[in-house]
């Protein structure tokens, strides 16, 4: 894989993380809250806090992927994505059956992160 191709893979991940942060905040009182409430978070303030904390984490990871693309950052992004996938799976297992695949999309994201993490420095 060429350096240019790897860069486009990285940019696509930057977009995913930053877009997820924006959409999470945009939908703070809509889908973001509804997802957490469906997963058993009963306090609206807690749902908002968790959503905003997740959005901050997404921004940090997106910026790290953009500005400091090193193995450690790819590994951190992979670890965070896997943890979030496990948490989301436990809270709302039906997300695996969603037609637009909010959790199944994490499989190719994990593969891209793995490829980028394993490339020579």
pLDDT digits (tens, 9 = 90+) for 41-63: 999 999 999 999 999 999 999 99
The stretch 101-107 carries a mean pLDDT of 96
Specify the higher pLDDT residue, 119 or 82: 82
Report the distance separating Cα 96 and Cα 118, nearest Å.
Answer: 28
pLDDT of 93 above 80: yes
Please answer whether residues 13 and 109 qualify as being in contact, where contact means their C-beta atoms are separated by less than 8 angstroms: yes
* Mean pLDDT taken over the chain: 95
pLDDT of 120 above 80: no
Q: Which two tokens stand for residue 27?
A: 């939908």
Check residue 121 and give its pLDDT: 63
Q: How confident is the model at residue 104 (pLDDT cuts 50, 70, 90)?
A: very high
* Residues near 14 by beta carbon (within 8 Å), at least 6 away in sequence: 62, 65, 66
Please answer whether residues 13 and 113 qualify as being in contact, where contact means their C-beta atoms are separated by less than 8 angstroms: yes
Report the distance separating Cα 33 and Cα 45, nearest Å.
Answer: 9
Report the distance separating Cα 13 and Cα 113, nearest Å.
Answer: 8
DSSP class of residue 120 equals -
């Amino acid at each position: 894989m060429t350096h240019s191709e790897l860069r486009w893979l990285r940019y696509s991940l930057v977009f995913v993380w930053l877009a997820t942060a924006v959409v999470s905040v945009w939908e703070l009182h809509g889908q973001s809250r509804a997802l957490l409430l469906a997963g058993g978070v009963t306090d609206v303030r807690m749902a908002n806090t968790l959503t905003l904390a997740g959005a901050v984490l997404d921004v940090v990871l997106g910026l790290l992927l953009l500005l400091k693309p090193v193995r450690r950052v790819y590994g951190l992004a992979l670890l965070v994505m896997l943890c979030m996938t496990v948490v989301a799976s436990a809270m709302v297992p039906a997300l695996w059956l969603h037609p637009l695949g909010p959790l199944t999309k994490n499989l190719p994201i994990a593969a891209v992160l793995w490829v980028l993490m394993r490339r020579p420095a």
